[in-house]
Structure 1
Amino acid sequence: MNRVRALAAEKAAVIFTKSTCCMCYSIKELFRGLGASPAIHELDKDASGREMEKALRDLGCNPSVPAVFIGGRFVGSAKDVISFHVDGSLKQMLIQAGAIWF
């Protein structure tokens, strides 16, 4: 859990993913399309990936990926992020966290 929290705080936007997950890809592309350059941590390519995946589940992320953190705060999984994008609040969260500038 400590490693997840430390990694989640390293940049304004952080996404925990798996390289073979299509929803993870979609969320990464959404962030890039908004002008953000999130830190990406692919759990299937990390030696501690299984432990981090368990920690993400313990935080309430189900499924465990994609898990999105903005400003060091867990904001949710793909479903949540897409909802925030649709209502316009995702962009505002990214601006407030300093992940994008306008």
Structure 2
Amino acid sequence: MRGPYERVARMASGNAVVVFSVSGCCMCHVVKRLLLGLGVGPTVYELDQLDRGVADIQAVLSHLLASTSPAAASGASGSATASAVPVVFVGGKLLGGVEKVMSCHINGSLVPLLKQAGALWL
């Protein structure tokens, strides 16, 4: 499964902020609106609109989230597909899902992370 991991890593490092999303997902919409409201123009990959490799990408994203989140690892956040998005990368590094993004926003650490990655200048 090395190929899909490399593909996700390549996609995630293509811009200062990358969001893996599904176009009809309300939590994905929340994350994208938050980033846009902060002045960040993230690269967004809508998984439901990709031509190929979607299942592999979703599996990689689910695995990455599960390895960073005890709730995701226990299955507490629902189905694998639902918990796989949104997934946000900042500076090519995994930030996390909606809970992590909102937590960082609330505790004040999101803007410094975005500045450090070159996504914000002010």
TM-score range, shorter chain: over 0.9
> 1:51 aligned to 2:56?
yes
> 1:28 aligned to 2:48?
no
Q: Distance in 1 between matches of 2:43 and 2:105?
A: 19
Which digits, 9 at most, give the CA deviation of each residue in 1:61-92, with x for residues without a partner? Answer: 54100000000000110001000000110011
Larger Rg belongs to: 2
Query: Between Structure 1 and Structure 2, which shows a larger proportion of helix residues?
Result: 2
Aligned identity (percent) is: 40
**TM-score, normalised on structure 1?**
0.96
1:71 aligned residue = 91
Give the deviation of 1:18 after TM superposition.
0.2
1:92 aligned residue = 112
CA RMSD after TM alignment: 0.9
> Structure 2 regions of 5+ residues with no counterpart?
67-71, 73-82
Give the deviation of 1:60 after TM superposition.
2.2
> Structure 1 regions of 5+ residues with no counterpart?
none
Q: Distance in 2 between matches of 1:60 and 1:38?
A: 19
2:79 aligned residue = none
